[in-house]
A and B are shown apart, each in its own frame.
Chain A
Amino acid sequence: MNGLDILALSASALVGLGIYGLLAARHLLRRVLAFNLVGSGLFLWFGAAGARGGVGVDPIPQALIITGIVVALAASALGVALVVAHARLSGPTLPEEAPCDPEPDNRA
């Protein structure tokens, strides 16, 4: 197994884990983390694709990855800020999704 295969497999694993998190996690912070996992997987994959030619490394994917990381950071920052604001008012899950605790709410 050469180095590129390892990169491609790790990238696939990251993307797969992230997609699972986006679909299965109800806690909003976990979902923001899952988005970052998918993003990291894609960037890893992109970087590996840039090294594929054999002769030297294509610099354009690297430049694009850096831009992509900045964009993902901004998106995560906004996401976390929203999660915090949302959690303060109404808890860490979206209202239409059942809270993590399946017991009926008796507070009312």
Chain B
Amino acid sequence: MTPLIWLVIAPLLGALAVLVVPARRMPAVALGAAAATLGAALALAAQVAGLGPRTVLLGGWTPPLGIVLKADGLGTAFAVMAALVMSGVALAARHELAPDKAGARAAYGFWPLMLLVWAALNTVFVSRDLFNLYVGLELLSLAAVALVALAGSREALAAAMRYLLFALTGSLLYLAGVVLTYSAHGTLDMAMLLARVPATGDGVALGLMTAGLMAKTALFPFHVWLPPAHAAAPAPASAMLSALVPKASLVILLRVWFEAMPDAAGDAALLVMAGLGAVAVIWGGVQALVQRKIKLVIAYSTVAQLGYFIIAFPLTGGDSAVKPWSAGAWTGMVFLALSHGLAKSAMFLVAGIWYSACGAQELRDLKGLARALPMSAFAFALAAVTLAGLPPSGGFTGKYLMMQAAFVAGLWPFALVMVAGGLLAAAYLYRPLAALFAKDEAISCAPVSRVRQAVPLALAAAAIILGVLSAEPFSFIKIGKPDAAVEGL
């Protein structure tokens, strides 16, 4: 069987397998499934890089009857990023969610839910059928809500409930759009939708799907559920909730707009969406600046970063021969999303180490912590470089491409917003960094093994490497890139 199939099946089988083995064997089985999925993602990436996009017709049925799975540069790049983050999360969770630390309930529930999240993510990354994407998205939301509720505290349950209400409303809106699309065109396959005869209801269908996906991605103004939910979960769960889960609905948003219905996009709608993104960048940044708890700072930073992705929508296109950089907004956004995933997961894992080893939850508890745990403080600083968009990180490459596109497209206010967002990020990340490296008494921390500290460091370093070696991923993302990403919406 091909790596493309294993990418989806391995975590799914793993999620079932961890439920039937004795509790003490769960981490080992889950790590085995993680290794298999990571291997499948890397093998798929090698295939896509060498041979171009890979396609599997499920059961040998062609669309519109069957469902097609297709791995292009975009989906594969996200699958590899998810595999790296998930492997790091699994290694961290072996310590953080040991039964004697997190309690038997959380220790038991985490492993199958983590693998289910992973299976759903990979399904979304390679699906091209609107209904298959709906099922993948629902599996993802249900597993993610359960992860938020894992801690079982009053706050965690309230956050999970709020998240569930937003997620359910979002999926109903998306489903309504899917139903409209099917009744107008009789197909849900994206390639066939691209070749459809436009119908009058297309704009409504696209609008409904977009609203639903925005609620699931926590794009402003649907972001209110995100910070409490991400802050309430155990740290390894927060890492994947913040770094990966919003990316799934973002990828669907990208595919619906660029691959299924690029012709239905209107300038006004694009500007409204990008305007919401701009508000999200500023609002998330300001909120992150005033938080006292470290996990809430990181979570509000996600609200801000998600805004950048949606800003890119109207910036794509332009005459690429005359203005070669104008085609860069789509690629820049993907770059930004990939490096955000790596950096954000590193930050949450580091916050988890600080909480479990030193009891540090608030920013003021971090004073002098760099002396006690230098490796984790360095990992946090590296991740901060990426989130603030400083060179040579992947975050810089992505923002640079998007700002170029903003000037070329004549939408320079968005470039200003991106600069302001970068400054805000530097400001809200300066607060934890200043506390970490303050010359206070070194606070006492329980010993933390080097491996456990090395995991977030490796993830944060990967986000930097993405910027240093940007030529290779740059051409990889472009494999199978939709025409609309080059020509603009």
B158 sits at the interface (CB 8 A): yes
Which of B142, B154, B169 is in CB contact (< 8 Å) with A78?
A: B142
Question: A-B pairs with the 3 shortest C-beta distances?
Answer: A49-B183, A86-B157, A46-B179
Interface residues in B59-76 by Cβ distance below 8 A to A read: 64-65
Q: Mark B167-184, 1 if CB is under 8 A from A, else 0.
A: 011011001100100110
Which of B134, B158, B176 is in CB contact (< 8 Å) with A86?
A: B158
A90 sits at the interface (CB 8 A): yes
Number of chain A residues close to chain B: CB under 8 A: 32
Q: Is the CB of A94 within 8 A of B169?
A: no
B145 sits at the interface (CB 8 A): yes
Q: Is the CB of A89 within 8 A of B154?
A: yes
CB distance from B200 to the nearest CB of A (A): 15
Query: Contacts of B161 on A, CB cut-off 8 Å?
Result: 28, 82-83, 86, 94
**Mostly helix, strand, loop or mixed at chain B's interface?**
helix
CB distance from A93 to the nearest CB of B (A): 10
Bound form: Cα–Cα A71–B152 in Å: 24
Interface residues in A74-108 by Cβ distance below 8 A to B read: 74-75, 78-79, 82-83, 85-86, 89-90, 94-95
Bound form: Cα–Cα A7–B134 in Å: 24
Q: Is the CB of B149 within 8 A of A82?
A: yes
Query: Contacts of B157 on A, CB cut-off 8 Å?
Result: 82, 85-86, 89-90
Q: Is the CB of A52 within 8 A of B183?
A: yes
CB distance from A98 to the nearest CB of B (A): 15
B365 sits at the interface (CB 8 A): no
Q: Is the CB of A68 within 8 A of B169?
A: no
Q: Is the CB of A85 within 8 A of B168?
A: no
Bound form: Cα–Cα A74–B120 in Å: 15
Which of B154, B175, B182 is in CB contact (< 8 Å) with A90?
A: B154
Bound form: Cα–Cα A42–B179 in Å: 8
The answer to whether A94 and B175 touch (CB under 8 A), given A35-B168, A75-B168, A85-B149, is no
Count A-B pairs with CB separation below 8 Å.
Answer: 75
Bound form: Cα–Cα A83–B142 in Å: 14
Query: Contacts of A58 on B, CB cut-off 8 Å?
Result: 186
Q: Is the CB of A42 within 8 A of B176?
A: yes
Residue ID in chain A nearest B169 by CB atoms: A22
Given A39-B172, A82-B161, A94-B161, 8 further pairs, Cβ under 8 A:
A35-B172, A42-B175, A52-B183, A61-B182, A67-B135, A71-B135, A74-B138, A85-B149
B274 sits at the interface (CB 8 A): no
Query: Contacts of A79 on B, CB cut-off 8 Å?
Result: 164, 168
Query: Contacts of B168 on A, CB cut-off 8 Å?
Result: 35, 75, 79
Query: Contacts of A61 on B, CB cut-off 8 Å?
Result: 182
Residue ID in chain B nearest A39 by CB atoms: B172
Q: Is the CB of B172 within 8 A of A45?
A: no
Query: Contacts of B141 on A, CB cut-off 8 Å?
Result: 75
B165 sits at the interface (CB 8 A): yes
Q: Is the CB of A95 within 8 A of B142?
A: no
Bound form: Cα–Cα A52–B131 in Å: 20
Bound form: Cα–Cα A35–B158 in Å: 18
Query: Contacts of B94 on A, CB cut-off 8 Å?
Result: none
Query: Contacts of A24 on B, CB cut-off 8 Å?
Result: none
Q: Is the CB of B142 within 8 A of A75?
A: yes
B162 sits at the interface (CB 8 A): yes
Query: Contacts of B134 on A, CB cut-off 8 Å?
Result: 68, 71
Query: Contacts of A83 on B, CB cut-off 8 Å?
Result: 161
Q: Is the CB of B179 within 8 A of A49?
A: yes
Query: Contacts of A46 on B, CB cut-off 8 Å?
Result: 179, 182-183
B97 sits at the interface (CB 8 A): no
Which of A31, A46, A64, A90 has the largest number of chain B CB atoms within 10 A?
A: A64
Query: Contacts of A28 on B, CB cut-off 8 Å?
Result: 161
A-B pairs with beta carbons under 8 Å apart, 7 shown: A31-B165, A50-B183, A52-B183, A61-B182, A68-B175, A71-B135, A90-B154
CB distance from A57 to the nearest CB of B (A): 13
Interface residues in A15-61 by Cβ distance below 8 A to B read: 15, 22, 28, 31, 35, 38-39, 42, 45-46, 49-50, 52, 58, 60-61
